[in-house]
Amino acid sequence: MLSLPIFLVASLVKIVLVILILLTAVAYTVWLERKVVGHIQNRWGPTRVGPFGLLQPLADGIKFLVKEDLTPPHVYKPLFIAAPMIAVVCALSSIAVIPFGTTVTLLGYQIPLEITDVNTGLLVILGITSVGVYGVALAGWSSNSKYSLLGGLRASAQMVSYEICLGLSLVGVLIVAGSFSLREIVDAQRGHFWGFLPKWNILYGGQIIAFFIYLTAAYAETNRIPFDLPEAETELVAGYHTEYSAMKFAMFFMAEYANMITVACLATLLFLGGWHGPVFGPPLLQAILPVIWFVAKVFVFLFLYIWVRGTLPRFRYDQLMAFGWKFLFPLAIANVVVTALIVAYRSSL
């Protein structure tokens, strides 16, 4: 155990570091997306600011800060201002319970690589993301514009529907691991099946189905293509953030990408064994490698997000609802039943 002052200092340093890294990651995910989608569409993407356009996020940030912050006269002001704040606060705070690696020993103190270890960590993330819907819904309502309202309505209906599938897809993992703590779930995935196959949850029983349900529901939860109907620009101008400009718009943008990163982290922790991977080399490398494995797996998910965006067209709204309720939902329930039977059978042996 750490003493109180050291605990406070360590926590503060971790909070500042994690938020800084998250915001940088958000900025560079935007850059990566523009670059990759550009190459998919046979364009170059950003090239002008810095080498390979690497300073583009910085230029965008300055642009967001100095642009005029318009507030249309007909909006309901308190909620119009609060909505982007709710969105960004919920998106940034869910990173607090995500572990990035094992504990490190620094100056003789054991410091776990996460802001806080809650024994209901997984549920905390689900809770925070479920509150995050208010940001989008209230933005749509308070803007007092038909496009925003339709976007907000779509977002709240879609997110409530897919949250059920998201939650159910995680039940299988919970049954296998027997804990809500993300650290314990990752620790349960240490080792190998038959000596060579990593003992990740995705390879356990029918969890690969759960993985795809999770991925689909998570894309819908983060309002990404092919489920980005709340901001479908062909029908709704820009959906729920039509009336927003400058930094308020940027806050929605940041919230979307921060949510993508959280979803990618969660997928890594729950299905791909978190920071587990081959560890070798000198002691310093051994200390860093788990974090590198974690970041690499998260990067794969982020790249997948962008790849899907560059590949798939958007669903129609009734297709989206029918797919969620008539296909994903029964499949998720079936997966829970089958996983429970497998675990019960194995424990009865």
- Contact positions vs other proteins (CB under 8 A): 79, 118-120, 123-124, 126-127, 130-131, 133-134, 137-138, 140-141, 149, 152-153, 156-157, 159-160, 163, 167, 174-175, 178-180, 318-319, 321-322
* Contact between residue 75 and residue 243 where contact means Cβ atoms under 8 Å apart: yes
* Contact between residue 184 and residue 217 where contact means Cβ atoms under 8 Å apart: no
| DSSP at 157 | H
Closest approach, Cβ 14 to other proteins, in A, equals 22
Q: Which is nearer to other proteins, 18 or 137 (CB)?
A: 137
Q: Which is nearer to other proteins, 87 or 124 (CB)?
A: 124
Q: Which is nearer to other proteins, 163 or 228 (CB)?
A: 163
Torsion angle (degrees, nearest 10) of CA 153, 306, 174, 125:
-50
Closest approach, Cβ 89 to other proteins, in A, equals 13
Residue 83: CB atoms within 10 A of its CB come to: 28
Closest approach, Cβ 311 to other proteins, in A, equals 22
Closest approach, Cβ 315 to other proteins, in A, equals 10
Secondary structure of 11-60 in HEC code, one letter for each residue? HHHHHHHHHHHHHHHHHHHHHHHHHHHHHHCCCCCCCCCCHHHCCHHHHH
Q: How far apart are CA 225 and CA 211, in angstroms?
A: 18
Closest approach, Cβ 288 to other proteins, in A, equals 32
Q: Which is nearer to other proteins, 54 or 123 (CB)?
A: 123
Using only C-alpha atoms, the chain has a radius of gyration, in whole angstroms, of 21
* Contact between residue 173 and residue 332 where contact means Cβ atoms under 8 Å apart: no
Closest approach, Cβ 157 to other proteins, in A, equals 6
* Contact between residue 177 and residue 186 where contact means Cβ atoms under 8 Å apart: no
Q: Which is nearer to other proteins, 25 or 185 (CB)?
A: 185
Closest approach, Cβ 177 to other proteins, in A, equals 9
Q: How far apart are CA 28 and CA 298, in angstroms?
A: 13
Q: Which is nearer to other proteins, 123 or 292 (CB)?
A: 123
Q: Which is nearer to other proteins, 307 or 327 (CB)?
A: 327
What count of residues does the chain have?
A: 349
